[in-house]
Structure 1
Amino acid sequence: MPPAMTSSRDPRVRIGCAGWSIPTRHAQLFGEGDSHLARYATRFDVTEINSTFYRPHQPRTFERWAASVPAQFRFSVKLPKAITHEARLHGVGDALTTFFDSVAGLGPKFGGVLIQLPPSLAFDARLANRFFAMVRRRCAVPVACEPRHASWFEPHVEAVWQRFAIARVAADPAPLSAAAHPAGAPAEGRWSYWRWHGSPRIYYSRYGDDALEALARVLRERGRVRAPAWCILDNTAHGHAVEDAARVQEFVAGLKKDSG
Structure 2
Amino acid sequence: MTGTIYIGISGWRYKPWRGDFYPEGLKQRQELAYASRAVSSIEINGSFYALQTPERYADWYAQTPDDFVFSVKAPRYITHVKRLKEIEEPMANFYASGVLQLKEKLGATLWQFPPSFKYDAERFEQFLSLLPTTWAAARRLARHASRGEPPAKSELPARTPLRHAVEIRHPSFTCVEFVELLRKYRVALVVADTAGKWPLLEDVTSDFVYIRLHGDQELYSSGYSDEALSHWAKRIRSWLAGRQPRDAHRVASAAPPRRSSRDLFCYFDNDIKVCAPYDARRLLRMLSLAEHLAVVPGEPASELPD
Q: CA deviation at 1:23?
A: 4.1
Counterpart AA for 1:110: L
How far does residue 175 in structure 1 lie from its aligned partner after superposition? 5.3
Maintained 8 Å contact 1:197/1:233: yes
Identity of matched residues, %: 29
- 2:166 is aligned with what amino acid? C
**Aligned-pair RMSD on alpha carbons?**
2.5
CA distance in 2, matches of 1:94, 1:109: 25
2:20, 2:3 → 1: CA distance? 28
Over residues 72-105 of structure 1, what are the superposed CA-to-partner deviations in whole Å (9 max), with x where a residue is unaligned? 1111111111110011011111111111122111
In structure 2, distance between residues paired with 1:34 and 1:234 = 21
Give, as a single letter, the amino acid of the residue that structure 1 aligns with 2:164: V
Matching residue of 1:6? none
Q: Does 1:201 align with 2:218?
A: yes
Q: Deviations over 1:31-77 (max 9, x none)?
A: x9971111112121210011111111111100100111122111111
Q: Report the CA distance between 1:148 and its aligned residue.
A: 0.9
SS at match of 1:43: coil
Per-residue deviation, 1:162: 1.0
1-structure distance, mates of 2:110, 2:32? 20
Alignment match, 2:12 = 20
Aligned to 1:115: 111
The amino acid of 2:163's aligned partner reads P
Give 1:1-260 correspondences, 5 Å limit.
Answer: 12-21=4-13, 22-27=17-22, 35-102=30-97, 103-136=99-132, 138-139=137-138, 140-173=161-194, 179-187=199-207, 191-224=208-241, 227-253=262-288
Cα distance change, pair 213–23 in 1 and its aligned pair in 2 (3 A): farther
2:251 corresponds in structure 1 to none
Higher-helix-fraction structure: 1
Give the TM-score normalised by the residue count of structure 2.
0.72
**Offset at 1:199?**
3.1
Output the amino acid matched with 1:208: S
TM-score after normalising by structure 1: 0.84
Contact 2:12–2:35 under 8 Å retained in 1: yes
* Unpaired runs of at least 5, structure 2: 139-160, 242-259, 290-306
1:216 deviation in Å?
A: 1.2
Q: Does the aligned pair in 2 maintain the 1:84–1:116 contact within 8 Å?
A: yes
| Native 8 Å contact 1:174 1:180 kept in 2 | no
Query: In structure 1, how many angstroms separate the alpha carbons of the residues matched to 2:217 and 2:265?
Result: 22
Which gives a bigger RCO, structure 1 or 2 (Cα 8 Å, sep 6+)?
2
Q: Supply the distance in 2 between the matched residues of 1:25 and 1:69 (Cα, whole angstroms).
A: 21
Counterpart of 1:211, as a letter, is A
Is the Cα contact below 8 Å between 1:203 and 1:237 reproduced in 2? yes
Deviates more, 1:168-177 or 1:130-139: 168-177
CA contact (8 A) 1:18 1:50 kept: yes
Aligned residues: 239
Residues 23 and 182 (structure 1), Cα distance of their counterparts in 2 relative to 1, 3 Å cut: farther
